[in-house]
Structure 1
Amino acid sequence: MELLEGTVLAGESFEPIRGRVVVEDGQIEAIEEVPTDSTDIVLPAFVNAHTHLGDSVAKDAAAGLSLEKAVAPPNSLKHRRLAAADRPDLVAAMRRTLRFMRETATASCLDFRESGPAGARALREAARPLDIDPFIFGSGDASVLDVADGFGASGANDDDFAEQRAASRERGAPFAIHAGEPDPTDIGPALELDPDLLVHMVHAEPDHLDRVAEASIPIAVCPRANTVLDVGRPPVRALLDHTTVALGTDNVMLNPPSMFREMAYTAKQFDVTDREVLRMATTAGAEIVGLDGGVIAPGRRAALTVLDGDSNNLTGSTDPVRAVVRRATALDVDRVLC
């Protein structure tokens, strides 16, 4: 049994409770209000709702390039670098990035893995010795579902994904697709595929939002990547008003996959509350693919982060949720329990 004491951000509302979390056999047994001298902040470990970990072989190589030249399939710099990478180097690079994510309090990520079944297997190998579990959205033809957890489509303007959608539905695996990143033209066709997850939706229009709300389709947004690629700003407030919204960091070649950085940027640039941002970084991503984490509640998996509330950075903070979302960094992480 383990006892994690301090200010616990409990439940889906992240209500600060002075006390402790009781953990046994990897599960949260109880949250107890008890006297404590601990200045620690205990919160759910992050779930990064959109990554491209294969980009780890080409960090910062696309700086200053447009979306099309940087990452668009099939001939962008990203895809040329992926094609040129040998498997041991790819696995090693992805493993280093997964370690960084673990060090920055991420318990899981929803990764769009290129290169078909071989790409999915490479990511499984990279994650095998680590305490972080990527949920893999595979690519290519439907056979990737023999290896991956779901299917991740690049975009409805890139190809016809009807076969992969049908195969995902038959297997009960989630189907995700990029939509509305450079412009709105691929959003309608993406919605026709009845996806389980939409990624980006930067250029979502009112009729798109109504369809998303009617079908209860969650959305992963990646504000920092959208800024770097100069494709626009996702309408985060409008998206939250229509559906579940989760936070992702997108391409590793563009930005480090730090949820601390993504939260702080989102909180300061968009019309959102700190609690909404923290939910986007934890509970929402877990809910999208059915992970048993993302919230501190009895009976849930103990995927938890402990921040040092007495660090040089956090000491004197007046609100623990605001401190986590707007101020905390990897240097404040005392422990990650997964």
Structure 2
Amino acid sequence: MEELTGTVLVGESFEPIRGRVVVEDGRIATVEETETASTDIICPAFVNAHTHLGDSVAKEAAVGLSLEEAVAPPDSLKHRRLNAADRSELVSAMRRTLRFMQRTGTASCLDFREFGTAGARALREAAAPLDIDPFIFGSDDESVLDVADGYGASGANDNDFTEQRAACERRDRPFAIHAGEPDATDIYPALDLEPNLLVHMVHAEGEHLERVADQSVPIAVCPRANTVLDVGTPPIRELLDHTTVALGTDNVMLNPPSMLREMAYTAKRFDVTAREALRMATTAGAEIAGLDCGVIAPGRPGALVVFDGDSDNLAGSVDPVSAVVRRATELDIKQTLI
């Protein structure tokens, strides 16, 4: 049994209460108000809604390149580096990234894993000794669904993914696809595939969003990566007004997979509240992948991040939610339960 005390960000509204959380056998047994002298802030662990962990073999290699030069299949710098990496190098690099994510409060990530069944198996191997559990969107043909949790398509303009979408339907697995990153031309074709998740939607306009709402398709946004690749700014306020929106960090080669950095960037640059940003980094990603974490409530998994509210950085903060979203850094993390 583990008992944590301090300011607890409870439920889907992240209502701060002074009290304690008791975790037994990996699940939250009790959340209750009580007197405590602890200055800790207890937050649900993060779910990173979009990653490319294979890029861990090429950190910072794409700085200054365009989207097509950096990541577009099949001949971009990313794919050349992935082709050149041997399996042991790839597994080791992805494990290091997963370990960083676990240490900084991420319980799971929704990863688009390249190279089909072999790629998905390499990620399973990388995660095996760790507590963080990636949700894998595999690639190539239907056989990847024997190993992966779902299918992740590069984009409707890159290939015809009708067969892969049908395979997901037969196997009751989610189908996700990039859309609206370089421009809007692939958004309608992506929606025609009736996806379970859209990624990016930087160039989504009103007519696209009405259809997103009609089809109830959630969206993962990656604003820092969009900035690095200079593809534009996602209309996050409008997206939130139409559907569930989750935060992802995208390519490891472009940015560290820190949900703290992603939340702070999003909260400061876009028209979103601190609570909306925190939900995008926790509950929303969990809901998209059918995970049970992302909320502090009895019966939920004990996936938690404890921040030192008396750290030199956080001491004096007047709002614990805003402190976590806008100010907290990895140095302020006192403990993680993943």
TM-score (norm 2): 1.00
| 1:1-338 equivalent positions in 2, closer than 5 A | 1-338=1-338
Deviations 1:56-88 (A, max 9, x none): 000000000000000000000000000010000
The range that moved more, 22-31 or 268-277, is 22-31
Give the unaligned 5+ runs of structure 1. none
**One-letter identity of the residue aligned with 1:212:** V
Kindly state the Cα deviation for residue 247 of structure 1 after the two structures are TM-superposed: 0.1
Deviations 1:153-184 (A, max 9, x none): 00000000000000001111000000000000
How far, CA to CA, are the matches of 2:302 and 2:11 in structure 1? 13
How far, CA to CA, are the matches of 1:312 and 1:130 in structure 2? 30
How far, CA to CA, are the matches of 2:202 and 2:268 in structure 1? 18
* Structure 1 vs Structure 2 CA RMSD: 0.5
Give the unaligned 5+ runs of structure 2. none
Kindly state the Cα deviation for residue 31 of structure 1 after the two structures are TM-superposed: 0.7
Kindly state the Cα deviation for residue 2 of structure 1 after the two structures are TM-superposed: 1.4
Kindly state the Cα deviation for residue 207 of structure 1 after the two structures are TM-superposed: 1.1
How far, CA to CA, are the matches of 2:327 and 2:103 in structure 1? 17
Kindly state the Cα deviation for residue 215 of structure 1 after the two structures are TM-superposed: 1.0
Q: How many residues were matched structurally?
A: 338
Deviations 1:9-42 (A, max 9, x none): 0000000010001111111112110000000000
How far, CA to CA, are the matches of 1:311 and 1:116 in structure 2? 44
**One-letter identity of the residue aligned with 1:256:** P
How far, CA to CA, are the matches of 2:45 and 2:167 in structure 1? 32
**One-letter identity of the residue aligned with 1:165:** R
- Secondary structure of the residue aligned to 1:137 is strand
- Secondary structure of the residue aligned to 1:4 is strand
How far, CA to CA, are the matches of 1:211 and 1:123 in structure 2? 34
Kindly state the Cα deviation for residue 190 of structure 1 after the two structures are TM-superposed: 0.1
- Secondary structure of the residue aligned to 1:133 is coil
How far, CA to CA, are the matches of 1:220 and 1:330 in structure 2? 23
Kindly state the Cα deviation for residue 193 of structure 1 after the two structures are TM-superposed: 0.2
Deviations 1:115-163 (A, max 9, x none): 1000000000000000100000000011100110000000000000000
How far, CA to CA, are the matches of 1:285 and 1:200 in structure 2? 14
- Secondary structure of the residue aligned to 2:186 is helix
Kindly state the Cα deviation for residue 253 of structure 1 after the two structures are TM-superposed: 0.2
How far, CA to CA, are the matches of 2:108 and 2:179 in structure 1? 23
How far, CA to CA, are the matches of 1:205 and 1:15 in structure 2? 33
**One-letter identity of the residue aligned with 1:190:** A
Deviations 1:302-331 (A, max 9, x none): 111111111111111110000000000110
**One-letter identity of the residue aligned with 1:66:** S
**One-letter identity of the residue aligned with 2:43:** L
How far, CA to CA, are the matches of 1:104 and 1:83 in structure 2? 29
- Secondary structure of the residue aligned to 1:184 is coil
TM-score (norm 1): 1.00
**One-letter identity of the residue aligned with 2:111:** D
- Secondary structure of the residue aligned to 1:185 is coil
How far, CA to CA, are the matches of 1:256 and 1:243 in structure 2? 27
- Secondary structure of the residue aligned to 1:324 is helix
